[in-house]
Amino acid sequence: MPEVLGLGLWALVAAGFDLRRRRLPNLLTLGGLAVGVVVVLASGASLLGMAPASAWQGLGLSLLLTLPGYALGQLGAGDVKLAAAIAMLTGLVHFIVAFALAAILALAVLLACRFARDLPYLHALCPEGWLPDGEAAGRARRTVPFGAALGIALPVSLLLLAGARAG
């Protein structure tokens, strides 16, 4: 249980960095990936106790899902590294659930912010630079920070999967 709490806090810290600075520090992303690799190699299981094959498959899937977005300029390198770290730390199933939730969250926020002009006060919910009015320049101002969505989605997915196992 402490590893789940630590993992959730780590993910939320990463989300906070991505929301506030639009950057994910290597210490968090590569550090998480390194911990995941060391844990799998040393213990024969992911941090959450999944089989090593699950962690490596999750890593492969994370790269398959994020590298095209990075190549197209839609995801940052930090997003790719965070997804890889999450996959290595949790395993394939947890990664799939977290990634799916993150995609839904990012899409919902993006759509809400796109319509912010038409809905009074909705713009107050959108972080600076997420509004499509062109006032803020640069790619970082036109995209949703996906690392933040991943960081928020991981603790939610951990709770959902824990509840599914308990019930």
d(CA 34, CA 141): 30
In a 10 Å sphere around its CB, with 0-12 CB exposed, 13-18 middle and 19+ buried, how is residue 155 labelled? buried
Name the token pair of 50. Answer: 């999944």
Pick 160 or 130 by higher pLDDT: 160
Total number of domains in the chain: 1
Say if residue 78 is exposed, middle or buried (CB neighbours under 10 Å; 0-12, 13-18, 19+): buried
Q: How confident is the model at residue 138 (pLDDT cuts 50, 70, 90)?
A: very low
Closest CA to 150 of 116, 99, 110, 97: 99
pLDDT band at 161 (very low <50, low <70, confident <90, very high): confident
| Residue range(s) defining the domain that contains residue 86 | 2-166
- Read off the pLDDT of residues 76-117 as tens digits, 9 standing for 90 and up: 999 999 999 999 999 999 999 999 999 999 998 888 777 766
Helix (H) or strand (E) holding 1: none
